[in-house]
Amino acid sequence: MLSWLRPWRERGWTLFTAADYARAWYLYGGSVATHPLIVERLSALAEIPVRYLGWFAGDELLAAVPCWERHLALSKDVLKKRGQRGLFDLGNSEVILPIAEQARVPVRWRMRYLSELNRGQITTLRPQPDELALLRPLHDCSAKFLYNLRRERRLLEQLGGRLRPLSDYSPSEQAGIYADLFRRRWGFAARGEPHLAEVFGLLREFMTGSLLLRDEQPIAIQILYRVEAPRWISLEYINGGVDPRSSDHSPGSVLTFVNAQAARADARAAGKPLRYSFGRCDGGYKDRWCHRAPVYQT
């Protein structure tokens, strides 16, 4: 891990506790990928120690970073090097570090998909070729697009389709349904399949969304993680599965519509902007649902 470079990476930063990091996150905000409990629980699952570092001006904490040596904690690169790539899946999540609005700090750890929200606060940012797909606000969706989705939902309901909160199911039930529908849709196993029940159990309080059933059988599922920061709501759409035998009624699109509408309503009730990320923008259906946002790397 090139630990001899640690003094250079951490120059100006101070090692502190997980509780200090949590205080920074709940003060300045962050995203799913940097939430203190998610970092703590998934790091413990991977058996990788976290170094929590803070940037201070006198006694005032201005910024915080959770690290796996030279990488941001929960890094896919670290898991891959350790032969643990299939341990859990957070997709290409938006990374928002907890940094005070007026702060300007150097970040020397390796990380990608850094949010535009941190653009003016991190002095070492470089543009990343990829873009992030963020859910469009409702007013940015065409009337025809919304009409078609509502129509598909009505047709599916007439054919025995109904929705249930994903929280109605245990982690092992969620894992079994997701693994089955993912394999049906794609023809191969979902990333982290052997550990899905354990991961869903660890992150249960952050999981949100509905399951779509037809004649009481699951036909579409999406794995969504939600956290609430002081000034916004961060939601990550990791992946999903669909039974192709029901594809003539667009269950995937219907579920995306239902989950998106619920997330918008949730954000309105909280009086906060919604950052609903579909991960890396790779065209296709994401362009129908999302606008493109720049991201950065260090």
The tens digit of pLDDT for each residue in 107-120 reads 999 999 999 999 99
Task: Please compute the mean of the pLDDT values over residues 85-91 and round it to a whole number.
Answer: 94
Residue with tokens 């709501």: 233
**What are the tokens at 105?**
């700090």
Task: Please compute the mean of the pLDDT values over residues 263-285 and round it to a whole number.
Answer: 94
pTM: 0.95
- 42 and 15 together in one domain: yes
- 142 and 266 together in one domain: yes
Looking at 127, 161, 179, the residue that finishes a domain is: 127
Alpha carbon distance 86, 89 (integer Å): 7
Measured between alpha carbons, how far is residue 152 from residues 28, 79, 110, 251 in Å? Answer: 41, 40, 43, 8
Give the pLDDT of residue 138. 86
Give the pLDDT of residue 246. 83
Looking at 91, 109, 127, the residue that finishes a domain is: 127
The helix, strand and coil proportions of the chain, stated in percent and rounded to the nearest 5, come to: 40, 30, 30
Strand partners, 134: 277, 291
Looking at 102, 127, 152, the residue that finishes a domain is: 127
- 98 and 142 together in one domain: no
Give the pLDDT of residue 3. 63
Confidence label for 8 from pLDDT (cuts 50, 70 and 90)? confident
Task: Please compute the mean of the pLDDT values over residues 96-107 and round it to a whole number.
Answer: 97
- 170 and 240 together in one domain: yes
Give the pLDDT of residue 284. 82
- 14 and 147 together in one domain: no
- 81 and 146 together in one domain: no
Alpha carbon distance 222, 263 (integer Å): 13
Which helix or strand (DSSP H or E) is residue 227 part of? strand 217-228
Give the pLDDT of residue 1. 44
Tally of CB atoms within 10 A around 49: 11
Q: Alpha helix (H) ranges present in the chain?
A: 6-9, 18-28, 36-46, 76-81, 143-158, 171-186, 196-202, 251-270, 285-289
- 20 and 106 together in one domain: yes
pLDDT in tens, 140-177: 888 998 888 999 999 888 988 999 999 999 999 999 99
Measured between alpha carbons, how far is residue 137 from residues 140, 141, 167, 270 in Å? Answer: 5, 7, 25, 16
Residue 174 CA to its chain's centroid (Å): 18
* Domain housing 199: 134-297
| Number of domains forming the structure of the chain | 2
- 67 and 215 together in one domain: no
Concatenating the DSSP letter of every residue in 18-30 gives HHHHHHHHHHH--
- 193 and 143 together in one domain: yes
- 203 and 280 together in one domain: yes
Tally of CB atoms within 10 A around 164: 13
- 104 and 140 together in one domain: no
Pairing of strands 51-57, 210-214: unpaired
- 148 and 119 together in one domain: no
The answer on pLDDT for 247 being more than 80 is no
Alpha carbon distance 11, 68 (integer Å): 16
Q: What is the CATH number of the domain that holds 217?
A: 3.40.630.30
The answer on pLDDT for 252 being more than 90 is yes
